[in-house]
């Protein structure tokens, strides 16, 4: 069998997109240089919950079954490779706000597409006011980010620095004097800081969460109603998350804290002890689809972005598709190709 041609890739941004794409390319025996400044505003502080169900309408999220299987296998294989652990099953409970939502759940649980995802509620059980998602899991985000940083640094892949576009030549395809076959921008909401993908319509969406201490909340499941309540152990819980479009700072706000505490009252009326508050910024798109593709002029400059709030579910499979595009010329579907913006 003919050995695969080795090409040189420069990946800018070491968050979820950059991490998963680097691993996929390295798996294909490519030469990868990953630039990251450590100023991560999404991957490291995300809740990391992987949930295939869109609540309220009780529907499966986009390509949920396919993504679930692929992403779980990816994370478990990566744990072995890095000799660590960061992914584990998670019980997800949806507290029903209405009888109508419970009835919708009971209808969906009988459909073949949902039977691997929803735990059945018996029709006669009029007392149960919650549904359980059986296929969810969690990636402990901060550990995932740090462990990958350590791995890439040890293997000589990672360069800890801020990308300086004045040292990059698109015509010569070089950075700091080194030439690359391909350059991929995986810089999340900061893509607007680059001169190449101004029209890709990745929008910053700020999200804030609280860490609280609470003696009455259960520590065996993540609860969902108006907000999520995720157990951290030792009676600590993470509460989130807000969606804010007009504030692109990483400063926690009093308004978000008030909102999250108000949402928490739908689950428990007992006041919590607030431990901390953090803010991050997700790279989202209006159509809730990622952005993959190449610059219309510079064909070897690419983008892999827009993973949004479900990034930990989407990233592994999307990174595999991006790799197939880069190495095998497999076409990116129009639904999430960069070209969907270029015609507008």
Q: Which domains are assigned to the chain? A: 8-45+141-202+287-342 (3.50.50.60), 52-139 (no CATH), 204-283 (3.30.9.10)
Structure tokens that stand for 333 in this block: 């579907």
Percent over 70 (pLDDT), the chain? 98
Distance CA 180, CA 168 (A): 11
The mean pLDDT of the chain is 94
Pick from 311, 337, 299: nearest CA to 188: 311
pLDDT tens digits, one per residue of 89-107 = 999 999 999 999 999 999 9
Check residue 261 and give its pLDDT.
Answer: 98
Q: What is the pTM of this model?
A: 0.95
**Residue 174 token pair:** 């070089």
Least confident residue range of 87-101, 194-208, 282-296, 300-314: 194-208
Quick count: other Cβ atoms within 10 Å of Cβ 169? 13
Mean pLDDT of 227-247: 95
């Amino acid at each position: 069998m003919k050995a695969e041609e080795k090409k040189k890739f420069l990946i800018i941004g070491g968050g979820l997109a950059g991490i998963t794409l680097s691993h996929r390319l390295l798996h294909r025996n490519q030469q990868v240089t990953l630039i990251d400044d450590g100023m991560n505003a999404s991957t490291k502080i995300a809740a990391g919950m992987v949930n295939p169900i869109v609540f309220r309408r009780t529907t499966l999220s986009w390509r949920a079954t396919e993504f679930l299987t692929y992403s779980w296998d990816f994370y478990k294989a990566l744990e072995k490779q890095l000799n660590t652990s960061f992914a584990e099953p998670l019980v997800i409970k949806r507290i029903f706000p209405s009888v109508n939502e419970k009835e919708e759940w009971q209808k969906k649980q009988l459909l073949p597409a949902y039977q691997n995802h929803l735990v059945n509620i018996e029709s006669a059980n009029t007392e149960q006011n919650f549904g359980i998602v059986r296929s969810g899991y969690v990636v402990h985000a901060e550990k995932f980010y740090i462990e990958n940083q350590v791995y890439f640094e040890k293997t000589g892949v990672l360069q800890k620095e801020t990308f300086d576009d004045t040292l990059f030549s698109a015509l010569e395809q070089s950075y700091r004097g080194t030439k690359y076959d391909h350059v991929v921008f995986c810089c999340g909401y900061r893509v607007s800081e680059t001169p190449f993908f101004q029209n890709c319509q990745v929008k910053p969406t700020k999200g804030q969460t609280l860490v609280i201490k609470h003696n009455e909340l259960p520590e065996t499941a993540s609860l969902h109603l108006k907000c999520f309540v995720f157990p951290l152990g030792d009676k600590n819980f993470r509460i989130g998350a807000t969606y804010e479009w007009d504030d692109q700072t990483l400063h926690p706000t009093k308004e978000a804290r008030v909102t999250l505490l108000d949402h928490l009252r739908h689950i428990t009326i007992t006041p919590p002890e607030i431990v901390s508050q953090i803010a991050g910024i997700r790279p989202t798109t209006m159509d809730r689809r990622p952005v993959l593709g190449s610059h219309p002029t510079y064909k070897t400059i690419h983008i892999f972005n827009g993973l949004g709030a479900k990034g930990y579910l989407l990233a592994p499979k999307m990174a595999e598709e991006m790799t197939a595009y880069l190495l095998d010329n497999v076409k990116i579907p129009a639904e999430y190709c960069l070209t969907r913006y270029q015609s507008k």
